[in-house]
Amino acid sequence: MRVKVFLEKENAHKSMEIPKDHTIESLLKRMKINPQTVIVSRNGEVVTEQEILDDKDELKIFSVKLGG
């Protein structure tokens, strides 16, 4: 399966090959990103790390911002 990933921190778009039943958590681990530091959207919706990915999903990974 193939997914498109946008990483806000690097302003970079990537296309990634992933196995079936890959979760967001697995993808983040592969990308060496701590899930506790990011908010992930899948096809325009905020999702949890347990979400299972589908072919052609579009993911965006935003840094958590907490300043005020």
Partner 1 sequence: MPDSRFERQLLVFGKSRQRRLAKSRIAIIGCGGLGSVAAQYLAMAGVGFLKLIDSDNVELSNLNRQFFSHSDLGKPKVSCLKDRLEQLNPETKIEAVKEKITEKNCVQTIRDCDVILDCLDNLEIRLVLSDACESLGKPLVHGSIQGLSGQQITLLKGSGYLRKIFRNKLPTKGKIPVLGPAPGFIGSLQAMEAIKLITGFGKPNTRLLVFDGERNSVEYVNIKR
Binding residues (CB under 8 A) for partner 1: these are 8, 11, 34-37, 39, 41, 44-48, 60, 62-68
Taking the least distance from each CB to partner 1, the nearer of 17 and 36 is 36
> Which of 16/25 has CB closer to partner 1?
25
Closest contact distance (angstroms) between CB of 45 and partner 1 is 4
CA pair distance 51, 10, nearest whole angstrom: 23
Q: How far is the CB of 20 from partner 1 (least distance, A)?
A: 23
Partners of 6 in beta bridges: 13, 60
CB of residue 50 to partner 1, shortest distance in Å: 10
- Are residues 24 and 49 in contact, defined by beta-carbon separation less than 8 angstroms? yes
Whether 8 and 61 have beta carbons less than 8 Å apart is answered as: yes
